[in-house]
């Protein structure tokens, strides 16, 4: 069995889009997932990308992905990685691929002087939570995540003076 973890390259957006939809279905939110391959290609491969990613291939078949972007800590004064999506296809689960992707991103942080690797997990995803606990992740229970999107985003933007 040949296992390769690598940075994404043009053409991977096809498999990434498919896995994002698979993840959305797993998270019971497929109706909210509108991403296109073109959008992913632009986000990942523009002159100034807004997202980055890694792929795991097993014997040439795409088995998993991690899509992430840089954030910035005003307290630390340096960048960090925010892991937007980590997905392992069902046929490839229980092989340690998610942990290997997390280790790859941790190495990316260390190599680039980034101070943190951050992500979110759904409260009911006990398998993911067990992994995140096992790698030393600490839930940030003192923070509540907020989001403004859709009509509320448009309405708030309309308040701009």
CATH level 3 topology of 3-157:
Aminopeptidase (3.40.630)
Q: Distances in Å between the alpha carbon of 100 and those of 3, 86, 88, 94, 121?
A: 11, 11, 11, 12, 17
For 63-118, what is each residue's pLDDT tens digit?
A: 999 999 999 999 999 999 999 999 999 999 999 999 999 999 999 999 999 999 99
Render 85-119 in DSSP notation, one character per residue. EEEE-GGGTTSSHHHHHHHHHHHHHHHHT---EEE
Query: For residue 145, what are the contacts with CB-CB under 8 A and spacing of at least 6?
Result: 120
Q: What is the mean pLDDT of residues 48-68?
A: 98
Question: What gap in Å lies between CA 9 and CA 41, rounded to an integer?
Answer: 9
pTM of structure = 0.92
Output the CA–CA distances (angstroms, integers) from residue 148 to 34, 97, 123, in the order listed.
17, 33, 20
* pLDDT of 118: 95
User: pLDDT tens-digit profile of 108-151?
Assistant: 999 999 999 999 999 999 999 998 999 999 999 888 888 898 89
Res 25 pLDDT > 70 = yes
Buried b (16+ CB within 10 A) or exposed e, 90-127: eebeebebbebbbeebbebbeeeebeebebebeeeeee
Which residues participate in catalysis according to the annotation?
Answer: 132
Band the pLDDT of 1: cuts 50, 70, 90.
Answer: confident
Give the per-residue pLDDT at 74. 96
């Amino acid at each position: 069995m040949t296992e390769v973890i690598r940075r994404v390259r043009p053409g991977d957006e096809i498999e990434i889009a498919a896995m994002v939809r698979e993840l959305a279905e797993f998270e019971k939110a497929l109706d909210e997932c509108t991403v296109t391959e073109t959008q992913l290609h632009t986000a990942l491969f523009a002159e100034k990308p807004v997202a980055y990613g890694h792929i795991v291939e097993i014997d040439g078949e795409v088995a998993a992905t991690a899509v992430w972007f840089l954030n910035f800590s005003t307290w630390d004064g340096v960048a960090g990685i925010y892991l937007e999506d980590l997905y392992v296809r069902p046929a490839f689960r229980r092989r340690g691929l998610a942990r290997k992707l997390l280790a790859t991103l941790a190495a990316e942080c260390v190599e680039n002087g980034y101070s943190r690797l951050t992500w979110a997990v759904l409260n009911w995803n006990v398998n993911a939570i067990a992994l995140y606990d096992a790698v030393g992740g600490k839930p940030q229970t003192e923070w509540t995540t907020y989001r403004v999107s859709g009509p509320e985003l448009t309405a708030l933007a309309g308040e701009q003076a």
